[in-house]
Amino acid sequence: MTLTSLFFALSILTAPNPQAAEEISEYDGPMEIVTPPAMPSSTCGAPVAPGCGRTATVQFCRLQPCPANFPCYRNAQTAPVPPEFALMPAPPRIYKNPRIERPFGVNFNYAGPALFGVSLTHFITPTLQLEAGIGPITRFFGGTYHFGGEQARKLWTPYAGLSVVDFINGIDDGDNPMFAVYVPFGVQYSGRGGMTFSIEGAWAHISGTDGESIDVPWFGIKIGYRF
């Protein structure tokens, strides 16, 4: 036997057995150690009871889906949520401005410039609303400015406005027509579902057929729906 053959035989005899390789643990890789924040207990008082508010180190599975032999699944326990996910803020809620989404409206008027009548409204901007209406003895046209109407989250908006009122159905005789200036101050609710409600106080300047005029306090209530 040559020296080369002898070294070759010795290398085969001393080679490690593949079956003798170190067995990999079933928990290597798919998990990490996570310590969640302490959760106060309802039984905690002052002074704090022993162990109150403490947390134990738990195992969190990083693989999805988690292997069936993971301890928390094997023991029928819920896998904990990592703190970095538990503390993430909720996504912001997106609000739509009801005065932009539903600019057209139909309203029933109690008192106001129409007395008992109906009116049509339209928001040409989130803060500026035009209105035209008619009642048993009047017809009117005007507008209102809504403070804070550009804010999407704001459903109640205070407003001020101006309308010109024309009296009809025999109230004026043609030669001396009656008209009025109506100045309202109120608050309006614009629901996201379309419902609207407003209540207002007003000052009205009415010109008479004989050239005289009067100033009277007035009010109005409107209920309607927007499209």
- pLDDT given for residue 9 in this prediction: 64
pTM over cut 0.75: no
**Are 148 and 204 part of one and the same domain?**
yes
**Are 76 and 171 part of one and the same domain?**
no
Burial 167-191 (b: 16+ CB within 10 A, else e): beeeebeeeeebebbbbbebebebe
**Are 210 and 151 part of one and the same domain?**
yes
**Are 76 and 179 part of one and the same domain?**
no
Give pLDDT tens digits for 19-32: 433 333 444 444 44
- pLDDT given for residue 17 in this prediction: 52
- pLDDT given for residue 10 in this prediction: 61
Give pLDDT tens digits for 65-102: 555 555 554 444 555 555 555 566 667 778 899 999 99
Burial class (CB in 10 A: 0-12, 13-18, 19+), 120: middle
> Which residues in the chain come in under a pLDDT of 70?
1-90, 169-176, 209
- pLDDT given for residue 193 in this prediction: 92
Final residue in a domain of this structure, among 44, 62, 85: 85
